[in-house]
Amino acid sequence: MISFPNTSRNYQVSKQSVCFWGYDSAFEVSFFVGRDMLERIAERPSTSEADLLQIFDTNRPQIQKVAAKAYSPRRGNYYPLEPKDF
């Protein structure tokens, strides 16, 4: 089962995504939410990295719920969350 005790997140310019981490026992799992998905969640375009992080923070419970549903230990430790996941 995946949990999200670490509230850290960062914006990765190269991936145009906010990255956050979950843990399955001792295994760290990286999740990514793209700029386009964050804009869709917020129902508005974003203007900056800080704006995207704020959108993520505001919607963290929903995003983590989606991440937990998408997670499968057999898929590895890198999960880009896509529109189909939401």
Cβ atoms 29, 77 nearer than 8 A: yes
The pLDDT value given to residue 77: 85
The pLDDT value given to residue 44: 92
The pLDDT value given to residue 76: 80
The pLDDT value given to residue 72: 87
Please compute Rg for the chain using Cα positions: 12
Q: Which domains does the chain have, with CATH numbers?
A: 2-85 (3.30.160.140)
Digit-by-digit pLDDT tens for the chain (86 residues) are 899 999 999 999 999 999 999 999 989 999 999 999 999 999 999 889 999 999 999 999 999 999 999 998 777 888 999 888 88
